[in-house]
Amino acid sequence: QKEVEQDPGPLSVPEGAIVSLNCTYSNSAFQYFMWYRQYSRKGPELLMYTYSSGNKEDGRFTAQVDKSSKYISLFIRDSQPSDSATYLCAMSARGAGSYQLTFGKGTKLSVIP
């Protein structure tokens, strides 16, 4: 079983829809959870960052972490064509001895006008 599982999609939604993106993980040591957005031919950029269970909201984006289920989600409200990109979840564990980010494979999202 891979450490981080993410449905690669592609996912196609109409403009204005609510989008739900998800990742599951197996390593209970993961403490930090991130969502990155990657446009075509660009490097990933951080969207959301959390280190505890619960919800975190930033504008149209909400990140949700459920550590008991080892499940994280990213919700996008009122989706826009500019949200069309690949979304990557990423996680890292606590501990001073390493600096490793483990990424999901990414979900490609298209928002159709």
Partner 1 sequence: EAQVTQNPRYLITVTGKKLTVTCSQNMNHEYMSWYRQDPGLGLRQIYYSMNVEVTDKGDVPEGYKVSRKEKRNFPLILESPSPNQTSLYFCASSLRRDTEAFFGQGTRLTVV
As measured in angstroms, the least distance from the Cβ of 112 to partner 1 is 23
Q: Is the dihedral of CA 22, 28, 31, 37 positive or negative?
A: negative
As measured in angstroms, the least distance from the Cβ of 110 to partner 1 is 17
93-96: Cβ within 8 A, 24+ apart? 93/27, 93/29, 93/30, 93/31, 93/32, 94/29, 94/31, 94/32, 95/29
For partner 1, the binding residues (CB under 8 A) are: 6, 8, 32, 34, 41-46, 49, 51, 88, 90, 92, 94, 96, 98-106
14/100 with CB nearer partner 1: 100
As measured in angstroms, the least distance from the Cβ of 16 to partner 1 is 29
